[in-house]
């Protein structure tokens, strides 16, 4: 008969191991029957051993365009998520696994969040990337934005931090082992002295799966973009490269059960639950206040400004100029451009000696997409009549 059957799961979340011992000589048929039953049981337990070392980061979402122009938000107020994707079957053991976050210099900021339980084994036995189940972890604000339940909400977890927009790295970590990482912006871990390679492993890191531990050139040199996800397009265990494995795309989150709201009626890439004009491909995310206004000295002086690209091509701009001497009250404001789509202006005039110009820009959209934004904090309502 079967004398011993032992199952153990190592602390690192690795594959389930079993051992069974059977007597050397078993002659009665009933004993043989027991031995066969024991053998079958041991095979059944070994095959679906749950782990998470064959997971990859699929999407990193920093938030909607409005988050980029809002007053400072706490980590829990930001609509952010990280989505994993299995690359083989039975990778659902994520209990206590977490996402480590570093700044652009490789300094450890904390954790974006961690799982408090494993998820269901939702994959088929022979699934392969990218056709295996996903797992979603994010804030309640992101849950609300996409209007379906994630597998793990992270609000209020101890030591939690937001994803850094301009530059940084996030790594999926299972106990003491690193499963997968992606970096963006100007990330370089050697600047902090924590890594031998710019996007390589930190001192003391251990690979959970033997995949290439150097993640190469960071993705998205300008950083994470509000309204877009940093989305994986390919996976090769032996050749990781953030810049070629990932690209910016509109978010498409899916939870472990396959639930999502990813219908896109007008085919413009942005799903309907986020799209302010489902039947108009020129407008996508609701318009938000401008994120930048830059100038290059002339002559002529060149101005450039932009709304979040995620809002679509239909956004237009109003540009106002005045003299700094009349900045209080904006009493000499002049409309230079009204409903202009270009996002740039060449200033041919120079201010008088001892004076200077100020410039203000606002974005315009359809009523459904936010209408007209403001010229910025502290501006006068009287400006709204300057460029009708």
Average pLDDT of span 328-357? 91
Report pLDDT for 39. Answer: 37
Average pLDDT of span 301-310? 83
Nearest Cα neighbor of 376 from 264, 265, 289 is 289
pLDDT band at 369 (very low <50, low <70, confident <90, very high): very high
- What percentage of the chain carries pLDDT values higher than 90? 68
Nearest Cα neighbor of 226 from 353, 366, 367, 69 is 69
Does the pLDDT at position 125 exceed 70? yes
Does the pLDDT at position 26 exceed 60? no
Report pLDDT for 50. Answer: 54
Identify the residue with better confidence: 55 or 382. 55
Q: Which of 114-123, 259-268, 306-315 has the highest mean pLDDT?
A: 259-268
pLDDT band at 4 (very low <50, low <70, confident <90, very high): very low
Q: What is the DSSP letter of 66?
A: G
Q: What is the DSSP letter of 101?
A: E
Average pLDDT of span 159-170? 97
Does the pLDDT at position 206 exceed 90? yes
Average pLDDT of span 273-279? 94
Residues linked to residue 326 through DSSP beta bridges, in sequence order:
none
Report pLDDT for 267. Answer: 94
Identify the residue with better confidence: 215 or 355. 215
Nearest Cα neighbor of 88 from 44, 119, 129, 48 is 129
pLDDT one-digit tens code per residue, 224-262: 999 999 999 999 999 999 999 999 999 999 999 999 999
pLDDT band at 198 (very low <50, low <70, confident <90, very high): very high
Does the pLDDT at position 152 exceed 50? yes
d(CA 5, CA 25): 18
Q: What is the length of the chain?
A: 388
Decide if 349 contacts 359 (C-beta within 8 A).
no
- What percentage of the chain carries pLDDT values higher than 70? 87
d(CA 383, CA 360): 10
Chain mean pLDDT for the chain: 86
Does the pLDDT at position 60 exceed 50? yes
């Amino acid at each position: 008969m079967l004398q011993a059957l032992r199952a153990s799961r190592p602390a690192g979340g690795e594959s389930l191991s079993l051992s069974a011992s059977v007597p050397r000589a078993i002659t009665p048929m009933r004993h043989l029957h027991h031995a066969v039953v024991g053998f079958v049981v041991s095979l059944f337990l070994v095959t679906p051993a749950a782990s998470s070392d064959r997971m990859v980061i699929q999407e990193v979402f920093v938030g909607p365009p409005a988050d980029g122009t809002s007053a400072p938000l706490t980590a829990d107020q930001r609509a952010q998520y990280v989505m994993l994707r299995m690359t083989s079957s039975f990778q659902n053991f994520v209990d206590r696994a977490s996402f480590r976050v570093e700044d652009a210099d490789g300094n450890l900021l904390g954790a974006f969040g961690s799982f408090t339980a494993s998820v269901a084994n939702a994959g088929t036995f022979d699934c392969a990337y990218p056709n295996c189940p996903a797992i979603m972890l994010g804030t309640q604000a992101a849950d609300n934005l996409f209007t379906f339940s994630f597998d793990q909400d992270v609000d209020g977890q101890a030591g939690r931090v937001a994803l850094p927009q301009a530059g940084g790295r996030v790594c999926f970590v299972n106990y003491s082992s690193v499963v997968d990482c992606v970096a963006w912006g100007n990330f370089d871990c050697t600047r902090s002295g924590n890594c031998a390679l710019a996007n390589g492993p930190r001192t003391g890191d251990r690979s959970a799966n033997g995949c290439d531990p150097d993640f190469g050139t960071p993705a998205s040199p300008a950083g994470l973009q509000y309204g877009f996800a940093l989305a994986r397009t390919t996976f090769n265990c032996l050749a990781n490269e953030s810049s070629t494995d990932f690209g910016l795309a509109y978010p498409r989150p899916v939870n472990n059960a396959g639930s999502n709201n990813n219908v896109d009626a007008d085919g413009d890439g942005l799903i309907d639950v986020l799209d302010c004009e489902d039947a108009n491909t020129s407008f996508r995310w609701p318009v938000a206040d401008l994120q930048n206004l830059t100038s290059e000295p002339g002559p002529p002086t060149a101005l450039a400004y932009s709304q979040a690209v995620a809002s679509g091509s239909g956004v237009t701009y109003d540009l106002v100029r005045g003299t700094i001497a009349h900045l209080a009250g904006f009493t000499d404001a002049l409309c230079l451009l009204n409903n202009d789509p270009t996002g740039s202006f060449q200033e041919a005039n120079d201010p008088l000696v001892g004076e200077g110009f100020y410039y203000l820009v606002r974005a315009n959209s359809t009523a459904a997409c936010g209408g007209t934004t403001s010229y910025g904090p502290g501006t006068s309502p009287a400006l709204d009549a300057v460029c009708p």
